[in-house]
Amino acid sequence: MAKEITIQLNDESLKVPSGITVKKALQLSGYKVTKFPEKEGLFVPCEVGGCWSCAVLIDGEPKPACRTLVRDGLHINTSLPEKHPPKRIIHGFTGHPVGGVGTPWRLKRVHTYIEVACFAAGCNFRCPQCQNWDITYNGKSRPMPPSEAAERLTVARKKFSVDRMAISGGESTLNRAWLIGYVRTLKSLNLDVDARIHIDTNGSILTKDYIDELIDAGMTDIGIDLKGCTTESFMRITAVKERGLAALYLSTAWKAVRYLAERYNDLIFTGVGIPYNAKLISLDEIGLIGKKLYEIDPKIQVCALDYRPEFKRFDLQKPSYDEMEEVHNVLKDAGLKTVICQTDRGHIGP
């Protein structure tokens, strides 16, 4: 049995077991900890120390509650200083020859770098076939404020002579204060009319007010990965185990796509990504996704991603060209105008 130690939580003494995280200590104290952002409580989405959404003041220094261990005499303050800049772990800052889900198809056919990109650590999903797992679950690198990331990506833009600047992940939207600050700073550093600020996301916490704030800050392009249209498929693909939370994440992403199409169709470029591997999602469900997207906007760009063996799912077999061609046909049959499919031979175009 772990011995008890005494910590200070918001100037009150609290006895907790040794060896637990600050997050667990907060839960034991009755403090609200959430997996979906709410007005009250601490949002702890990634639990690997990557996104820093759960940063609290620990012995006077901001640290992520999800990975910091308690010790006897530790002081915790759940309110960060008002002017403290948010931080998170970011990797990359390099040229990207293909782009992401939110990259227009006409650019993907150019055989050179088409944008520069950085990648955010931390994700609220646990996809066993995660293709960016080495970045997603890296919570040990130095976190940086939004200004530093924006400056570094601006330097990369000049180096690679491109107009598009992208952030992906992991999940880029988890730390809202950080992302808004990053987009706003990136916009201020790139005031020319050709500059495009592109965000790729799973859309799971992308509420209407969050979208509005991102666009006000300077976002011009967005790609949203929809991990299915049924909760069962979503849970299988993402490994989110709590059904209610999985349903909330999935519905939020779909609502985000609809909101962007209905309110910002002429202002923001929106692309949608959908996964395909026969072990994860059926062709019938791909067809249902196509029909739902057609009802939202037949002209929306849809990119089917061929999920390959990766991370913890080396039992998967990468879909063949013929399989992805069938996915393409199913989505086109739903009435969608712009359908792109990843294959081992390159993209099948619209």
Measuring CA to CA, how many Å separate 188 from each of 184, 213, 217, 277, 308?
6, 15, 9, 41, 38
In whole angstroms, give the CA distance from residue 181 to residue 212. 14
Q: Summarize pLDDT for 20-75 with one digit per residue, the tens.
A: 999 999 999 999 999 999 988 999 999 999 999 999 999 999 999 999 999 999 99
Q: Which residue has the higher pLDDT, 266 or 239?
A: 239
In whole angstroms, give the CA distance from residue 291 to residue 304. 14
Q: Taking residues 334-344, what's their average pLDDT? A: 96
CA nearest neighbour of 136 among 202, 52, 46: 46
Domains of the chain, start order? 4-77 (3.10.20.30), 90-348 (3.20.20.70)
Length of the chain: 350
pLDDT beyond 70 at 134: yes
Question: Would you state the structure tokens that stand for residue 177, as one six-digit string?
Answer: 């204060």
Q: Taking residues 223-241, what's their average pLDDT? A: 97
Question: Would you state the structure tokens that stand for residue 212, as one six-digit string?
Answer: 């509005």
Q: Taking residues 179-189, what's their average pLDDT? A: 98
- 3-class state of residue 224 by DSSP: strand
Q: Give per-residue burial for 214-242: e unless 16+ CB within 10 Å, then b.
A: bbebbbbbbbbbbbbbebebbbbbbebee
Q: Give per-residue burial for 171-202: e unless 16+ CB within 10 Å, then b.
A: bbbbbbbbbbbbbbbbbebbeeeebbbbbbbb
Note the pTM of the prediction, 2 decimals. Answer: 0.96
